[in-house]
Amino acid sequence: MEPNLHEFSDGTVLAEKLADQVAHRLAAAVEARGEASLAVSGGSTPKRFFRAIANRDIDWAKVTVTLVDERFVPADHPRSNHLLVRENLLQGKAAAARFIPLYHDRPSVEEAARVATAAANTITPPFDVVILGMGGDGHTASFFPHGSTLNQALDAAGPRSVLPMEADGAEEPRLTFSFSSLTDAGMLVLHIEGQSKKDVLAKAQEGTNETEMPIRAVLHRASSPVDIYWAP
């Protein structure tokens, strides 16, 4: 299934439009089921989107927010995605949302992943909305090239779970939802900005080697349609 490319004049216009679409999807889920779920990425790109969605007028008390991946650092560490979400998304109206962290203070990232998997299993699958980013090396979530658990993480038949991941491209051990947890979302979005990311996307779309560019797994075999949101 070919991804749908949505291009915008700048990151602010993109953030507002994406926030409209995500809010609509979450509100519809709450209307239909009495609950909704949103899994977001960390990094620098999502910040404007977080601030835009935070004040959309939906029943946030019925929305569960989590992360597609997390650095294995405490929530007060500057590289924590939980910190990023707490400071930019779980504000205003969205402060009422339930947040499920991936980081847990355990002696190993493997033990933290087991605890995170149990906590994540309280979220009714599939996610209503998943927002992925992409690194310049073609990673997404914490599916890093040649990552320590990459084959397991990208296995479409694998269990819905949070896995530990270590890789040369990751500054610290990571916790990441598996491919099977993320790619059947009601709304599956890849949010990238800048020409260099667009060039990386084009290279990813041309090739097939997922170990080299794990984003290819999402682009080529996600069960949900992929909506790419891009601005210069």
Q: Is 42 in the site for ligand 6PG (CB under 6 A)?
A: yes
Tell me: does residue 225 bind ligand 6PG (CB under 6 A): no
Residue nearest to ligand 6PG (CB): 133
Task: Provide the minimum distance between the beta carbon of 138 and ligand 6PG in the complex, in angstroms, as a whole number.
Answer: 10
Residue 173 DSSP label: -
Q: Least separation, in Å, of the C-beta of 144 and ligand 6PG?
A: 9
For ligand 6PG, which residue of 15, 38, 41, 162 counts as binding (CB under 6 A)? 41
- Residue 135 near ligand 6PG by CB under 6 A: yes
CB 127 within 8 A of CB 38: yes
Number of residues that bind ligand 6PG (CB under 6 A): 14
Q: Kindly indicate which of the ranges 39-47, 49-57, 112-120, 224-232 contains the residues binding ligand 6PG, using the contact rule CB under 6 A.
A: 39-47
Which residues, 44 to 63, sit near ligand 6PG by CB under 6 A?
A: 44-45
Q: Which of 43, 74, 207, 225 binds ligand 6PG (CB under 6 A)?
A: 43
* 138 touches ligand 6PG by CB under 6 A: no
Measured CA to CA in angstroms, residue 110 lies from 45, 103, 115, 143, 173 at distances of 28, 11, 9, 16, 10
Residue 129 in the binding site for ligand 6PG (CB under 6 A): no
Residue 232 is a binding residue for ligand 6PG (CB under 6 A):
no
Count Cβ atoms below 10 Å from residue 75 Cβ, excluding itself. Answer: 16
Question: Can residue 69 be called a binding residue for ligand 6PG (CB under 6 A)?
Answer: yes
Q: Does 149 bind ligand 6PG (CB under 6 A)?
A: no
| Residue 37 interacts with ligand 6PG (CB under 6 A): yes or no | no
The residues, ordered by sequence, that sit 6+ positions from 85 with a Cβ below 8 Å of its Cβ are 40, 42, 50, 65, 67, 99
Are the C-beta atoms of residues 33 and 25 closer than 8 Å to each other?
Answer: no
* CA–CA distances in Å: residue 124 to residues 28, 33, 62, 127, 169: 15, 10, 12, 7, 32
Under 8 Å between Cβ of 182 and 162: no
Q: What is the separation, in whole angstroms, between the first and last Cα of the chain?
A: 25
Cα–Cα separations (whole angstroms), residue 114 to 2, 51, 145? 34, 31, 23
Question: Does the footprint of ligand 6PG cover residue 195 (CB under 6 A)?
Answer: no
Residue placing its CB nearer to ligand 6PG in the complex, 117 or 142: 142
